[in-house]
Amino acid sequence: MSNIHLILGGARSGKSAYAEKLATDSGQPVTYIATAQVYDVEFGQRVEHHKVRRPAHWKTVEQPFNLGATLQAHAKANEVVIVDCLTLWLAQCICPDCDRPENLSWQHERSALLETLPTLAGTVLLVSNEVGMGIVPLGEINRQFQDEQGRLNQAIAQLADKVSFIAAGLPLTLKG
């Protein structure tokens, strides 16, 4: 069975770097599942920053959708999988203007992930933003995103063996 570790934090809190350190320290082979789609130059630069920081020998899988199936295909005993990040994956799944498969359903994507996580082998590090610490956003899609992100984080935290909150690059153990 897997060792699921949910790593939460705000933007630029150090959550990805923390997940990468845990993976490196494990000494095991690492698969990095990158969920982002690049829509503009500035975001492309952010993605490039993450790519440059990763060791060259890590396997990278760029997969913005079908995360449950992607994890099933790549999670293995004595290996580490990093998913970076659940927040971008969720945004792409619910955003009406994002480039996504026409038949994609957020409810199906979410259910598939939650059903798959407990069945996986190896260590799975899930990076996700904590978006509920600010104001309630204006706009229906923004509130929907905040609500769905909060619900997703809660559901995964229930399944996870360990949950960490990262602030200013420092981890705080919430569970495990």
- CA distance linking residue 133 with residue 127, whole number of Å: 17
For residue range 95-142, list pLDDT tens digits in order: 877 778 888 899 999 999 999 999 999 999 999 999 988 788 888 989
Q: H or E stretch including 59?
A: strand 59-62
- CA distance linking residue 15 with residue 8, whole number of Å: 7
Cis peptide leading into residue 85 (ω within 30°)? yes
Catalytic residue among 5, 49, 50, 74: 50
- CA distance linking residue 155 with residue 123, whole number of Å: 18
Check residue 1 and give its pLDDT: 53
State both tokens at 106: 């957020």
State the DSSP code for 120: -
Query: Which of the four pLDDT bands, split at 50, 70 and 90, describes residue 28?
Result: very high
Whether 81 and 127 have beta carbons less than 8 Å apart is answered as no
Amino acid at 64: P
Q: Is 128 exposed, middle or buried (0-12, 13-18, 19+ CB in 10 A)?
A: buried
108: annotated active-site residue: no
The torsion angles phi and psi of 40, rounded to 5 degrees, stand at -155, 170
Average pLDDT over residues 35-53: 84
pLDDT score of 66 more than 60: yes
Q: Looking at the whole model, is its pTM more than 0.85? A: yes
State both tokens at 137: 């956003």
User: How far does Cα 118 stand from its chain's mean position?
Assistant: 16
